Structure 1
């Protein structure tokens, strides 16, 4: 049975080659992408994200996506024109955070709503300081600790690990 099947398939392939159906196919004469590299089991996800020009953040679990958005709040609100638009942006983000807090799924990551008043205060301070010129630096950005972003707290796991060794 398999010999007859193989012969029929081979006959169809030979006929297609003679008719020229395999001529001028896309990628003809080009190397196979990824050949010679180590196998990556998520190659199809990465190629999909690259082909569709999607950010890789979409692969992160919800709490990590929210943390990343919280970290990007200063950059996101920088170009907003009014205080109300800043508060609306923070309000929408907080709505997503609260929705996740009500029904958490994924890894346990501490995610807290963003303080809208603090974001507005920083937004005002950034708009009030002088712009950086091409000839010099902005002394306010370097010396004013009220405008500087907060430093991250030390992670307790790092301290515990160091004490062990």
Structure 2
């Protein structure tokens, strides 16, 4: 004599499938991310960073300021107006000042303030060469 047992979870899944509640899901028919790859202990951290848009919220604010200073040419290169470039430089200089005074978390930062006129000049030069 064969006994068939269906747990309450199995029953709920079967009934939801019969109602079509799983039809049209975005990942339907696709393999699971990372399936078949070697196990990585930090998979959840990497996945979280990917979902949250990188490590911006994870690294100390003082290091984020340093990164923003290094990325300044690329950042202003996306702007189309001089006013936006000047505002970005002013905001970055304000963050640098806070980092120098130790008002944000992380190791101390020794960065020079940026001259908005020089940054605008370099921005203009790059725009004329790319046109």
Unaligned runs of 5+ in 1: 1-8, 135-165
Report how far residue 66 of structure 1 moved: 0.8
Q: 2:118 aligns with which of 121, 128, 139?
A: 121
TM-score, normalisation: structure 2? 0.59
Report how far residue 37 of structure 1 moved: 2.3
- How far apart, CA to CA, are the structure 1 residues paired with 2:65 and 2:10? 56
Report how far residue 109 of structure 1 moved: 5.4
- How far apart, CA to CA, are the structure 1 residues paired with 2:108 and 2:11? 60
Larger Rg: 1
Deviations 1:91-129 (A, max 9, x none): 2112122223323533x353324232xx42253255258
Does 1:111 pair with 2:110? yes
TM-score, normalisation: structure 1? 0.50
Which residue does 1:64 correspond to in 2? 63
- How far apart, CA to CA, are the structure 1 residues paired with 2:88 and 2:114? 12
- How far apart, CA to CA, are the structure 2 residues paired with 1:34 and 1:104? 37
Query: How many pairs were matched up?
Result: 120
- How far apart, CA to CA, are the structure 1 residues paired with 2:126 and 2:30? 55
- Matches of residues 14-29 of structure 1 in structure 2 within 5 Å? 15-16=11-12, 20-22=15-17, 25=22, 26=25, 27=27, 29=29
Which residue does 1:145 correspond to in 2? none
